[in-house]
Chain A
């Protein structure tokens, strides 16, 4: 399975800075897409690939920090590297707390930017993988019957078949069949495996 080429998005209102960054980042073999404003970035159709955002703090219309918050609210989890010509400590703290990968002051060292981009892309890759796994688990979970979905939380909470049978008012044998089915459908090798899957899907074990 070949990974799509990672992309670096650059939002800066200064065309010269944009071009210089593209030249630098492009020279290490990364795809670079340039945007003049936050709005332009939002409107763009971005490729489904590991990516990161190099964002100027001072932007026409909206500040970089506000844009960071807007993205989070819109559930767009793209790692952000801030670059600014004039930054101060409170601004940096705020940006980092909100999840920024790095906060660079213009003019920055080229390696610092490239390193930050690498970290950001790694982070995005990991995030993307995680999201993919959860998506697979959710797909499997969707294939369960309603009865199996009912039994799953009880199983992961460590209850015995007899107990589960009593809980849902059926026979121990029936519970045993359900259990086997859901283990097979979820692709779990063991109970521990199943418990981990449930956790990742955010299904809490049902306490007796």
Chain B
């Protein structure tokens, strides 16, 4: 037994002290660690972290404290009143919660730091002294006021330092692990220091009064170790959870950052692509605008060009008409498409136009023809239609393009000119006829005058009593001369009409027929006559004068045209036919006019016989002379089925030059 006033000397189990310090360090570390977690989390997670963290940290602090108390060995049995112990644990947890709450705030001002320090420091001190109050031992506990104050001040100061550290370290950046451990060590040591200062403030006087051991427990070494283990487990779990969470979060953040970077990268690429696209769109827009302007320009050119413009597919169906075409014909685009454009053609020109198209489409050659097109008001005007094919690189026709030009005025002028020419030629012919007649009369009358005068002289001589026979003989000789002269005059006139000295060369009569067909084409077309050639191949060549034979054919063709000029009840057809005959060739010119009767067929070759009002009756006479001079024969075949004129020419082998 010890004296009542003697202070019991306590000793420390240094192993327990070291363990308590370690626990303090571990708790500090856990606190620092958890502060970061609480800060990083938000909402429910934050509340969970705050609660869990506060429990773990509180248990850690409390365990260190309790361990420190257990490390203090007194000569008496020490028991602990467990409700108080629990209270101290609760205080530790609350203080920890408050501390975590403070450091996890967005800002940590001086006022808040100081308030936090006081609350936390006060809490720790309260926990400490409450814990001491739980001791049940046979001694009286005295506290040295100075040391108690010091311990409280230390608690507050260390709390301040801890808060500042924790706030500083809560941002979980790299390279803080070492600093965190260092800080945990400092904090742990500081907490331990405060605890042991508080312990030092307490002294125990032996007391005879047995401690109230109700609800008191004695801490066995096993229980002591259990506390350590539980504490370590709790703290370990907290730290592990925290670090796993942090790692996860870091991973997530890393992933997030990667993702973000990728997003940024993609966004940049996307922006660049967008920009490129925008530029391309703008470029295309410009190109399209230019194209449209160019198209508009072309269209306005095509629409205003003074011609009807069209395009057709290779099969001949139309697929475009310019505005002038539509305006002229009064057909809408739809009406004109396909074969609809044919409606604009004059009924008489439709068949021939279709033939022209067909042959052009079949041969693929550019074409040109004339036809009448109906204007919207119903008037027909002459047009010149021209078309050319457009081919691809393989030579296939893709399309036909063409213009249709109004030639009505030119056509009228042409007709007027032709009529004027025809009139002029008629006048010329009449005048020529007059001159011819005068010439013939004069030339023939001269010798006739001589004949008549001489004959009268002869009669007078014969009537006289002494006729002068010598003079009579002279006069009669003159009469014979003059008679011969008159006949020569007629021959000379005929030769004059045939013009030029004839020459004889080898000729192909078919060639001459074709040449004549070209020469009379205008006249044939103007009189709406269809001229047909039926030429036998391999005809023998004839010996003749090209111009004279052309003259004969033209004469016959013109006679045919004249004969059909007034024909209205049937088609006007003219056929020129060549064939082989025994001595050479036979050429026929057959018209569809009124034909010739027997008398006409006979007399028509006499000089000055004509069936035409403006005829002088020399054409056939001269033609017959020409044919006969070539060793051939020219005659007319009577009949009502049109006039048939035919002539023969000996082949060059049979002809006598």
Contacts and interface: CB of A to CB of B under 8 A. Distances in A.
B460 A16 contact: no
Interface stretch (A102-110, A158-166, A167-175): A102-110
Interface residues of B, number: 26
A16 B441 contact: no
B461 A17 contact: no
Of A16, A19, A108, A109, most B-chain CB atoms within 10 Å: A16
Nearest to B460: A27
Contacts of A107: 445, 448-449, 451-453
A85 interface: yes
A108 B441 CA distance: 14
B451 A86 contact: no
Given A14-B446, A27-B460, A27-B461, A20 B453 contact: yes
A27 B470 CA distance: 13
A14 B489 CA distance: 14
B450 interface: yes
Interface in B421-459: 438, 441-454, 456-457
A24 interface: yes
B442 A85 contact: yes
Contacts of B447: 16
B478 A16 contact: yes
Given A85-B442, A107-B445, A17 B453 contact: yes
Contacts of B485: 16
A24 B453 CA distance: 7
A16 B442 contact: no
B454 A23 contact: yes
Given A23-B457, A23-B475, A24-B460, A17 B446 contact: yes
Contact of A20 (B441, B442, B449, B461): B449
A32 to B, nearest CB: 12
B411 interface: no
B442 A86 contact: yes
Given A20-B478, A23-B475, A85 B446 contact: yes
B481 interface: yes
A83 B448 CA distance: 13
Interface residues of A, number: 18
Contacts of B451: 107
Contacts of A109: 456
Interface in A1-28: 14, 16-17, 19-21, 23-24, 27
A106 B454 contact: no
B451 to A, nearest CB: 7
B142 interface: no
A65 to B, nearest CB: 15
A19 to B, nearest CB: 7
Nearest to B459: A110
A179 interface: no
Given A16-B478, A20-B478, A27-B461, A86 B453 contact: no
A14 B448 CA distance: 12
Interface string A66-107: 000000000000000001011000000000000000000011
A106 B456 contact: no
Contact of B482 (A16, A23, A58, A83): A16
B215 interface: no
B460 A110 contact: yes
B268 interface: no
B436 to A, nearest CB: 12
B457 A24 contact: yes
A85 B460 contact: no
A16 B456 contact: no
Contacts of A24: 453-454, 456-457, 460
B460 A20 contact: no
A58 B445 CA distance: 12
Contacts of A108: 449, 452-453
Interface in A120-154: none
Interface string B460-475: 1100000000010011
Contacts, number: 71
B129 to A, nearest CB: 175
A85 B461 contact: no
B441 A86 contact: yes
Contacts of A16: 446-447, 450, 478, 481-482, 485
Contacts of B453: 17, 20-21, 23-24, 107-108, 110
Nearest to B450: A16
Contacts of A23: 453-454, 457, 471, 474-475
A110 B456 contact: yes
Of A17, A108, A109, most B-chain CB atoms within 10 Å: A17
Given A85-B441, A86-B442, A106 B460 contact: no
Nearest to A105: B445
Contact of B450 (A17, A27, A58): A17
A85 B445 contact: yes
Contacts of B481: 16
Interface string B290-314: 0000000000000000000000000
Contacts of A20: 449-450, 453-454, 457, 475, 478
Interface string B468-494: 000100110010011001000000000
B479 to A, nearest CB: 9
A110 B457 contact: yes
A69 B445 CA distance: 26
Contacts of A86: 438, 441-442, 445
Contact of A27 (B438, B457, B474, B482): B457
A23 B454 CA distance: 8
Of B445, B471, B478, B481, most A-chain CB atoms within 10 Å: B445
A108 B461 CA distance: 18
B471 A17 contact: no
A96 B474 CA distance: 35
Interface string B514-526: 0000000000000
Nearest to A88: B438
Contacts of B450: 14, 16-17, 19-20
B538 to A, nearest CB: 53
A17 B478 contact: no
Contacts of A110: 452-453, 456-457, 460
B420 to A, nearest CB: 29
A17 B443 CA distance: 12
A127 B447 CA distance: 35
A24 B471 CA distance: 11
Nearest to A18: B450
Nearest to A20: B453
A106 B481 CA distance: 17
A106 B448 contact: yes
A46 to B, nearest CB: 24
A86 B440 CA distance: 9
Of B452, B456, B482, most A-chain CB atoms within 10 Å: B456
A106 B454 CA distance: 13
20 contacts: A14-B450, A16-B446, A16-B450, A16-B481, A19-B450, A20-B449, A20-B475, A20-B478, A23-B453, A58-B442, A85-B442, A85-B443, A85-B446, A86-B445, A106-B449, A107-B445, A107-B451, A107-B452, A108-B452, A110-B452
Given A19-B450, A24-B460, A83-B449, 10 more contacts: A14-B450, A16-B446, A17-B446, A23-B453, A23-B454, A24-B456, A86-B438, A86-B445, A110-B452, A110-B460
Q: Closest 3 interchain pairs by CB?
A: A85-B445, A110-B456, A107-B452
